[in-house]
A = this chain, B = another copy of it.
Amino acid sequence: MKRIGMLTSGGDCQALNAAMRGVVKGLCESCEQLEIYGFLDGYKGLIYGNYRLLTGADFSGILTKGGTILGSSRQPFKQMRVPDENGLDKVEAMKHTYHKLNLDCLVILGGNGTQKTANLLREEGLNVVHLPKTIDNDIYGTDVTFGFQSAINIATEAIDCIHTTAASHNRIFIVEVMGHKVGWLTLYAGVASGADIILLPEIPYDIDSVLGAIEKRSKAGKGFTILAVAEGAISKEDAKLSKKEYKEKLKNYKFPSVSYELADMIEKKSGAEVRVVVPGHTQRGGSPCPYDRVLCSRLGAAAAQAIMDEDYGNMIAMVNGKTKRVPLGDVAGKLKSVDPECQMIKEAKSMGISFGD
């Protein structure tokens, strides 16, 4: 007999349901008796004791369904130690719910912030298992996170669409790709779609270098240029600013996002017409791709196994093609960003892709 709590926290992504299905399928095969408590809207459900008792039927047919059947919300780690508006101690409240329901363990699906809170709960004595969810692929200790490949597919398809229209009109297009503070999604979608220029947060760009890359294409008779630009991309000038100076800059910022500023710069400096496309939240929606469904089924099954082994306090990671238990204490709070000197960047550069540096 196992009593398991489950929650999905932070920005949603495509394969959350597939991952939960994996966990439950794994547990169902091993446990004679099983109770699954699904907490609603992330940690909020755990804090305020909002949950649904879930049955096998809840997990039937959700392998291909985007979003999360439990709902999600952003509960910043920083705020976890701060009492809520009614003075409630959130950490104590979560522990209270956990113990009241007499749970064996909490299965927590989420990204970096979620992981930090999961680690906090571990430190507070709760049994937790964490599954690495995010389209950003920025979780330390796993080769890949779920949602990442599905988001690559959507961003790539968007750039593919832009390709035919850019080529027909000889235009410069900027496609802004999600990814928070790291460039994984932009790098992969950029290479997959044959983008000409890829700008990542990890490689601050020089506007003249960007203009040079456009001009080089133009001279080679290629009338259009496609830039895949991470939402967190930053210019060399801005990268030099102190945190305070940067905040000051943002105060008077007149652009909806970095791509619009870049478009403005390119138009002013080159006279060319630039169009901006922002696929935005579409990148975290829709059905998970088969890659993510395999990944989530495996991570879910491995999480179930960890629970059966009563081996708690880990993130279930994918490392070199194998699922692996990684202690939360070793990874929580660390960010996995793109190494500007990594093999893939070098390969991309060797193919003539400019990173604006």
Residues of A within 8 A of B (CB): 8, 11-12, 14, 16, 22, 25-26, 28-30, 41, 61, 63-68, 71-73, 143, 149, 152-154, 156-158, 160-165, 167-170, 173, 188-189, 191-194, 254, 256, 260, 275-286, 289-291, 293-294, 297-298, 300-302, 304-305, 320-323, 343-344, 347-348, 350-352
Contact = CB atoms under 8 A, between A and B. Distances in A.
Given A152-B290, A290-B188, A351-B301, A165 B73 contact: no
A344 B298 contact: yes
A303 to B, nearest CB: 10
B194 A63 contact: yes
A157 B277 contact: no
Contact of A66 (B71, B165, B322): B165
A167 B302 CA distance: 28
B165 A297 contact: no
A224 to B, nearest CB: 10
A164 B66 contact: yes
Nearest to A305: B350
A279 B282 contact: yes
Contacts of A344: 298
Contacts of A25: 351-352
Given A152-B291, A156-B290, A304-B350, 13 more contacts: A26-B347, A26-B350, A61-B167, A68-B168, A71-B169, A72-B169, A157-B286, A160-B286, A192-B291, A276-B280, A297-B347, A297-B348, A304-B351
Nearest to A173: B281
A27 B97 CA distance: 42
Contact of A277 (B8, B28, B282, B301): B282
B277 A73 contact: no
A28 B192 CA distance: 19
Nearest to A190: B294
30 contacts: A12-B164, A12-B165, A12-B168, A12-B169, A25-B352, A28-B352, A29-B350, A29-B351, A61-B167, A67-B165, A68-B168, A73-B169, A143-B321, A149-B291, A156-B290, A160-B285, A160-B286, A161-B283, A161-B284, A191-B294, A193-B293, A254-B254, A256-B260, A277-B278, A277-B279, A277-B281, A301-B348, A301-B350, A320-B320, A323-B343
- Name the residue among A164, A254, A281, A297 with the largest chain B CB count within 10 angstroms: A164
Given A66-B164, A72-B168, A280-B277, A351 B297 contact: yes
